[in-house]
A and B are shown apart, each in its own frame.
Chain A
Amino acid sequence: MYNKNNILFLYAILYFAFLYIPVMLLPVFSFNDAIHMVFPLKGFTLKWYDQMINASRLHQALFNSIKVGVTASIFSTLIALLAAKAFTKYKVRLRQLSYGAILLPFVIPEIIIAVSLIVLWTGMGLQLGLIPVTISHVLFCTPFCMLVLISRMEGFDRNLEEAAMDLGENAWGTFWRVTFPLVLPAIVASLLLSFVISFDEFILAFFLTSNDQTLPLYMWGQLRFPKKLPHVLALGAVIIVATSIIVMLSYWLRNLGKPTDKKSNIGGI
């Protein structure tokens, strides 16, 4: 038994190493005083961060990404919210089939979506740019949002909405006073998830934008110049930290509003 635990412990260590060592190399080399990513480390420096802060095209790309990400996450969450509501409230005909149709974009290669959108968009005589990128991101993110929201709403007690109506609320009041607060954690999770997906999406943005770059496109562009590599590493390190903060924030938000001391749950009358 003791040995078995040791082996499992070793396995866990290896597993985490496999997951995180490549990612952790980024921050390590971002402080390294050398252009090339090779050991041994040369010395500590903050100049790559300095360079990153002063790269104005990077700022523009970051701003574009945030713009696209925020818009896409809001719209995809809104669409998914209404669809998920309908899906869980009404007995939709061909339920299995429509569920499959919702999940289909998961398995369609992104490049197919990109090509079909570029054909459609230019065919309508419209300019490529951040707008078609945003639209494509809405399309791409919606199924993810659907999954998050449906799973929450399926566990939703319909009696709660009926109780609200019974106590005098109309459909609108019921939604705002009961349904919305109860699905809020899922809405926040959906917003954060779709933002993160949009933020690091490359293929759709690559095909559908013109001169306006998003952050992944900018990073990809910089990789062609060896001298620019270190400040991309610095950027990567910042993104890792920022993403971790977002994830922790969403976790905290999800638990917000739930009472914490379950120990005071007393039985009987």
Chain B
Amino acid sequence: MSDNEFIKIKNVSKKFDDVVAVDNVDINIARGEFFSLLGPSGCGKTTLLRILAGFEYPSSGKVLIDNVDVTGITPNLRPTNMVFQNYAIFPHINVKKNIEFGLRKEKLSKDALDKRVKDALRMVQLEGYEDRYSNQLSGGQRQRIALARALVKQPKVLLLDEPLGALDKKLREEMQLELRKLQRSVGITFIFVTHDQEEAMTMSDRVAVMNKGKILQISPPRDLYNNPKNLFVGDFIGQINFLESEIKSIDSNNINVLINKLGEHTLTYSGNINKEESIVCAIRPETIQIGNNPDQIKSDITIKGKIANTSFYGNMTYIYVEIEGIAKTLMVSTSDALEGLTYDSECYININLKDIRLIKKN
């Protein structure tokens, strides 16, 4: 077994009555990896996590952790621990007893136990909170205690079910950085479930995008953003413009494509594709440049448009450009000052072929 197959999810499906929550999922996760399951609510990501934890059993397929088949094993006997979405801090016992909860079976001496609790609290920067109760903690603190309670067990895999969802934006961003730092220092494999693409992108080594029970793409964040394999992934991650296109001819990896209003161009595509495939071309808004006159910027494609709207975000501005013959306004983002580019003014947008991605519709 290589470390790349530390966790093997083999053809796992889960049906609830007639609903297929997880549909033939196949993933290998490496030892020490920060792996995210990303998807909209109801996509099956939480069910998959619960299958890993042992709270649900798959209808078919297998789960192996560190070369051991855990498919039918109850949660208490698995080398996994979980951080719940609502943290699930036991309200009837204090922080110290919460953290000690999972250590009962280890039969430690009182001093050893105290040390483990102290170390765990130091790790999440909540030293001295031993005597607090759950209702005396803020959301962020509860989240840290839940983390400490799970990590003190020194699991092989830590499962996190949208643990940052209940925190406000500022705190969430802080915790993202901290969680990543913590994961690197303890070296434990993290599997992180979230519907927030930004969260998945900033923390993970690899992200699996799920929809309707299926895995659509597993890639490192940068790859996921730059080379989405399908319409859903492209749309779900960040902002993107889709342009109706059709394939004219194929010459190995070079594909001649007619893009709506942008003309016929040759794009490269790695992977199998045939001429009948229905496709779109995708362009990220930040790769498009905008100017006042056609000769201002050198690029492969230049086309005239009219500014339909602008919205200012501080670090950048989104400009929505109407182009004759294209139904949806084209989204362009820039961090430059927009001299002479205001609402209703004429503009020229510039696209380079290397920034256009060809995506299969299905």
Contact = CB atoms under 8 A, between A and B. Distances in A.
Given A163-B82, A163-B90, A177 B101 contact: yes
Contact of B171 (A165, A177, A268): A268
Given A166-B76, A262-B136, A266-B138, A160 B88 contact: yes
Contact of A162 (B88, B137, B171): B88
A169 B80 CA distance: 13
Given A162-B55, A165-B75, A259-B136, A182 B92 contact: yes
Contacts of B75: 162, 165-166
B86 A168 contact: no
A264 B132 CA distance: 10
A159 B136 CA distance: 20
Contacts of A170: 74, 76
Interface in A148-167: 157, 159-160, 162-167
Contacts of B236: none
A125 interface: no
A159 B140 contact: no
Interface in B57-78: 74-76
Interface string A236-269: 0000000000000000000001010110111111
Interface string B133-168: 101111011001000011001000000000000000
Nearest to B175: A269
Contacts of B171: 268-269
Contacts of A165: 54-55, 74-76
Q: How large is the interface on A (under 10, 10 to 19, 20 to 34, 35 or more residues)?
A: 20 to 34
Contacts of A257: 92
Interface residues of B, number: 34
A126 to B, nearest CB: 44
B76 A268 contact: no
A182 B88 CA distance: 13
A267 B135 CA distance: 11
A221 interface: no
B101 A164 contact: yes
Given A159-B86, A264-B136, A266-B138, A166 B81 contact: yes
B135 A168 contact: no
A217 B91 CA distance: 45
A262 B135 contact: yes
Interface in B87-101: 88, 90-92, 101
B232 interface: no
B169 interface: no
A167 B141 contact: no
Given A159-B88, A182-B92, A257-B92, A166 B136 contact: no
Interface string A110-127: 000000000000000000
B102 A168 contact: yes
B93 to A, nearest CB: 8
Contact of B133 (A160, A167, A259, A266): A259
A265 B76 contact: no
Nearest to A180: B92
13 contacts: A159-B84, A162-B88, A163-B84, A166-B75, A167-B102, A170-B76, A177-B101, A181-B92, A259-B136, A262-B136, A268-B171, A269-B141, A269-B174
Interface of B: 53-55, 74-76, 80-82, 84-86, 88, 90-92, 101-102, 104-105, 125, 133, 135-138, 140-141, 144, 149-150, 153, 171, 174
